[in-house]
């Protein structure tokens, strides 16, 4: 079976550190509410690069998605189904630069934070 990758781009474009991230699906560790509100859903991944961004002792990278309030379960399901059933090796989860989202409930990428 060919490897699959998930892609993220925030509104910063593609010209600076942490503007984009592309992780192998195998690095995905799960979802969690990433702030004290109903519109932040974090996707956590094993670190792919040491020494960039957050603390080097932190084991995970965080992609913080902004979602419609109260839709965390729907977004989790949409992402999980896309990963499980996509025949494509490259899966765009959230791309602010091109306004492309795997779920209609995702509105943007708040941040891509290495070493969270």
Residue 54 pLDDT greater than 70, yes or no: no
Residue 55 has a pLDDT of 52
What residues contact residue 65 under an 8 Å CB cut-off, 6+ apart? 40, 41, 42, 43, 75, 93, 94, 106, 108, 109, 110
Residue 66 belongs to domain spanning:
5-113
Higher per-residue pLDDT: 76 or 58 = 76
Strand partners, 44: 30, 62
Flag whether the pTM goes above 0.85: yes
Number of domains in the chain: 1
Residue 50 has a pLDDT of 64
């Amino acid at each position: 079976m060919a490897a699959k990758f998930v892609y993220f781009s925030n509104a910063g474009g593609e010209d600076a550190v942490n503007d984009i991230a592309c992780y192998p699906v195998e690095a995905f560790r799960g979802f969690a509410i990433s702030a004290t509100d109903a519109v932040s859903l974090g996707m956590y991944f094993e670190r792919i690069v040491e020494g960039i961004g957050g603390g080097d002792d932190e084991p995970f990278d965080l992609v913080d998605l902004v979602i419609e309030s109260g839709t965390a379960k729907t977004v989790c399901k949409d992402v999980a189904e896309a990963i499980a059933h996509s025949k494509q090796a490259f899966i765009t989860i959230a791309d602010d630069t091109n306004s492309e989202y795997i779920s209609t409930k995702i509105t943007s990428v708040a941040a891509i934070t290495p070493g969270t």
